Amino acid sequence: MPKPEQISGASIPMKIGNTTYQARTLSDKDYDELHAYCRFKFIEESKLSIDSMLLSKEARQEMLTSVMLASSSVTFNSPEGS
């Protein structure tokens, strides 16, 4: 197993049980996709919750607007995203 300082963007073999996988560090694109997925799930779950409430059209729209604003700060690393 390589030392932490030897790991770069290149893949390294990682054996789990009898299977060997090629593991690599996450790229910027990988992180961007994880952040986008977390934002999507945050919005989706929030919308399901809002839809289950008996709200006026105005109150529902206000809550959805708040969710959209809050979603901009959701990341893979944030408590809301994990």
Tens digits of residue pLDDT in 7-59: 666 788 899 999 999 888 888 898 999 999 999 999 999 999 999 999 999 99
Give the separation between CA 37 and CA 17, rounded to whole angstroms: 30
Q: Is residue 17 part of a domain?
A: no
Residues of the domain holding 70: 27-82
pTM, two decimal places: 0.69
Q: Is residue 32 part of a domain?
A: yes
Nearest 10 degrees: CA dihedral of 59, 63, 69, 70?
Answer: 150
Q: In this structure, are residues 74 and 80 in contact, taking their beta carbons and an 8 Å threshold?
A: yes
pLDDT for the residue numbered 51: 92
Q: Looking up tokens 């919750």, which residue turns up? A: 49
Q: Is residue 71 part of a domain?
A: yes
Number of domains in the chain: 1
Q: Is residue 72 part of a domain?
A: yes
Q: Is residue 53 part of a domain?
A: yes
Q: Is residue 21 part of a domain?
A: no
Q: Is residue 16 part of a domain?
A: no
Q: Is residue 80 part of a domain?
A: yes
